[in-house]
Amino acid sequence: MEENNLQETKQEDTTVIFAIVGWIFSFIGLLFFPPIFGSIAIVFGYMHRKNVNRTHGTVIMVAGLLSIVIGMVLGAMMSVMLYG
């Protein structure tokens, strides 16, 4: 009985981690290496979508994609501002 509760707790912790790490990488991707961190966010969003919640996983995947696009645009704008 106690072993089943422990397994359920570990599984719940793992599924929450997918969402948290996906959001963190999505926000990091806005400022630092957008293609890398945004892609990692998309992967974690897919894992969350597959294992836990389809809607929330899809939102994380879209946030990862947007962080790639917005991060690249911000990088290009900063590059033009700094180097003319």
pLDDT in tens, 52-75: 888 999 999 999 999 999 999 999
Residue 56 class from Cβ within 10 Å (0-12 exposed, 13-18 middle, 19+ buried)? middle
* 20, two tokens: 């948290």
- pTM (2 d.p.): 0.81
Residue 25 to residue 34: CA distance in whole angstroms: 9
One-letter amino acid at 1 equals: M
Give the count of domains, the chain: 1
* 1, two tokens: 């009985």
How many residues belong to the chain?
84
Share of the chain above pLDDT 70, in %: 85
